[in-house]
């Protein structure tokens, strides 16, 4: 297992996300758990690298308009943002 680092903005984003349906919250936890175990995400999550201001970060689509921006290496998982396209970009 690796250490998870939650950015201040991610904590705020997650607080808003707690209002989502339970099924969406389960998906969020499933994705984070998979990343924590250093396992590649399924293709359905459209995991890809970002560029520009977010270079060195990755993004996955938990749902079509629910995104997780993160960075990972062998020792830690940094969760940066969680939200819709319009909220994040």
58 φψ region: left (φ > 0), alpha (ψ -120 to 50), beta (else): beta
pTM of this structure: 0.95
Q: Please tell me the distance from the alpha carbon of residue 78 to that of residue 72, in angstroms, as a whole number.
A: 6
pLDDT tens digits for the chain (89 residues)? Answer: 799 999 999 999 999 999 999 999 999 999 999 999 999 999 999 999 999 999 999 999 999 999 999 999 989 999 999 999 999 98
State the DSSP code for 39. Answer: P
Mention every residue, 6+ apart, whose C-beta is less than 8 A from residue 81: 7, 9, 10, 13, 67, 68, 69, 88
Other Cβ atoms closer than 10 A to 55: 8
Which CATH code for domain 3-88? 3.30.2310.20
Whether the Cβ atoms of residue 17 and residue 79 lie closer than 8 Å to each other: no
């Amino acid at each position: 297992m690796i250490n998870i680092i939650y950015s201040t903005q991610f904590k705020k984003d997650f607080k808003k996300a707690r209002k989502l349906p339970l099924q969406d919250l389960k998906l969020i936890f499933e994705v984070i758990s998979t990343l924590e175990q250093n396992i590649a995400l399924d293709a359905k999550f459209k995991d890809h690298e970002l560029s520009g201001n977010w270079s060195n970060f990755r993004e996955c689509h938990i749902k079509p308009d629910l995104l997780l921006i993160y960075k990972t290496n062998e020792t830690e998982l940094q969760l940066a943002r969680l939200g819709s396209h319009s909220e994040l970009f």
